[in-house]
């Protein structure tokens, strides 16, 4: 289905064309500033298959995945060419949505501010863009049904938990639970990411694991340039990435994602996925007759989709120390 679309303006006062009055060099500087600021918050992006957003490509993006081949256990017959196999390709589609926001500045602010207000505004919006786009991906990753609930452990006796509502103060994430999830992923033949599985975890939950004597801090096994954004350490064959945007459900229940390679797909931030828009005073015509307002904004096209749901395990747990103060996000 051909669904051509236009990049709609995200506010009636803001046009989606060029940055009027800015040189090409300035536009590049502001664009990269926003992407850099956003990038620091794009923790959930790091491990997905990336797809660019082509111009005039429509609102539906298609991800393709190839089925595994069965074992070839039949011996070959001398001189006889076997039938061979064909690739089995299935597609997963997702709808791309647009997100954005902007800030309006007065001419008085621009005249009296000591700082470069456009640059500072771009940084603030960049952080907002990063958190927004990261949340879009995070919510998709948490939509899977491959869930492990941390068991209740009292005086060394373990009791199975089968629902979120049954989680309580004795249901904390432990190294043993991490090992169980690793076993589950390996049983699904989930490929690792650079030799390990990866977990996305909230700092409150990481606190419990980091007290375990088996915990290895990130700087002890990798150089800074080889660490993922937010990486704090590893244990039981899993490298942990920490973010305050890890999912918190009502009641102080935490969702930790442990995943293998190629589990999900995302659209790229660069190459049209994220744009900075600066409108200087005087660019709005009769809508701003006294040239009193300028604006800085961002807009982005974004989607994510689970490709192989069995390669992501959501571990739900309670934090005896922090769940009572944690707020759902």
pLDDT recorded at residue 11: 33
Alpha helices in the chain (DSSP H): 24-39, 107-112, 117-141, 175-187, 203-210
* Domain 24-67+90-141+265-306: which CATH number of 3.40.1000, 3.30.2400, 1.20.140, 1.10.10: 3.30.2400
Contact 253, 149 (CB under 8 A): no
Contact 66, 89 (CB under 8 A): yes
Domain boundaries, the chain: 24-67+90-141+265-306, 147-264+308-318
Q: What is the mean pLDDT of each run of 10 residues along the chain (329 residues)?
A: 34 37 64 69 88 71 78 88 83 85 73 62 86 93 95 92 94 96 96 96 94 92 89 96 96 97 85 76 69 81 90 96 94
Contact 93, 51 (CB under 8 A): no
**Cα distance between the two ends of the chain:** 36
Contact 118, 296 (CB under 8 A): yes
3-class SS of residue 22? coil
pLDDT recorded at residue 49: 87
Contact 43, 141 (CB under 8 A): no
pLDDT recorded at residue 292: 72
**CA 145, chain centre distance (Å):** 18
How far is Cα 221 from Cα 227, in angstroms, rounded to an integer?
9
pLDDT recorded at residue 161: 95
Residue by residue, DSSP assigns 259-315 as: E-TTSEEEE-STTTTEEEEEE-TT-SGGGSTT--EEEEEEEEEE-EEES-GGGEEEE
pLDDT recorded at residue 12: 32
pLDDT recorded at residue 55: 64
How far is Cα 36 from Cα 274, in angstroms, rounded to an integer?
11
Contact 10, 299 (CB under 8 A): yes
How far is Cα 201 from Cα 242, in angstroms, rounded to an integer?
5
Block residue for tokens 């956003």: 38
Structure token pair of residue 54: 């082509």
Q: Which residues pair with 183 in a beta bridge?
A: none
* Domain 147-264+308-318: which CATH number of 3.40.1000, 2.60.40, 3.30.2320, 3.40.1350: 3.30.2320
pLDDT recorded at residue 59: 78
How far is Cα 233 from Cα 219, in angstroms, rounded to an integer?
8
How far is Cα 250 from Cα 178, in angstroms, rounded to an integer?
23
How far is Cα 120 from Cα 103, in angstroms, rounded to an integer?
11
How far is Cα 132 from Cα 138, in angstroms, rounded to an integer?
10
């Amino acid at each position: 289905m051909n669904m051509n679309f236009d990049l709609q303006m995200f506010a009636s006062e803001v046009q989606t064309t060029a940055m009027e009055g800015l040189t090409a060099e300035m536009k590049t500087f502001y664009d990269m500033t926003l992407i850099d600021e956003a990038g620091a918050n794009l923790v959930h992006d790091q491990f997905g298959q990336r797809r660019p957003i082509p111009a005039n490509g429509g609102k539906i993006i298609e991800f393709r995945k190839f089925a595994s081949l069965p074992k070839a256990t039949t011996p070959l017959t001398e001189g006889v060419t076997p039938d061979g196999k064909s690739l089995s390709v299935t597609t997963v589609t997702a709808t791309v949505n647009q997100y954005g926001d902007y800030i309006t500045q007065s001419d008085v602010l621009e005249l009296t501010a000591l700082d470069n207000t456009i640059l500072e505004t771009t940084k603030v919006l960049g952080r907002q863009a990063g958190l927004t786009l990261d949340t879009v991906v995070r919510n998709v990753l948490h939509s899977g049904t491959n869930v492990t609930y941390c068991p209740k452990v009292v005086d060394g006796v373990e009791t199975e938990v089968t629902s979120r509502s049954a989680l309580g103060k004795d249901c904390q994430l432990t190294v043993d639970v991490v090992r169980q999830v690793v076993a589950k992923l390996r049983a699904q033949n989930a490929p690792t990411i650079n030799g390990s599985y990866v977990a996305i975890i909230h700092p409150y939950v990481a606190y419990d694991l980091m007290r375990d004597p088996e915990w290895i801090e990130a700087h002890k096994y990798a150089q800074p340039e080889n660490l993922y954004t937010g990486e704090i350490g590893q244990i039981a064959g899993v490298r942990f990435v920490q973010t305050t945007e890890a999912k918190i459900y009502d009641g102080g229940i935490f969702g930790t994602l442990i995943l293998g390679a190629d589990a999900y797909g995302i659209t790229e931030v660069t190459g049209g996925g994220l744009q900075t828009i600066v409108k200087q005073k005087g660019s709005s015509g009769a809508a701003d007759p006294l040239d009193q307002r300028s604006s800085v904004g961002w807009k982005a096209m974004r989607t994510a989709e689970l490709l192989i749901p069995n390669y992501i395990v959501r571990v739900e747990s309670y934090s005896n120390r922090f769940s009572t103060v944690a707020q759902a996000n």
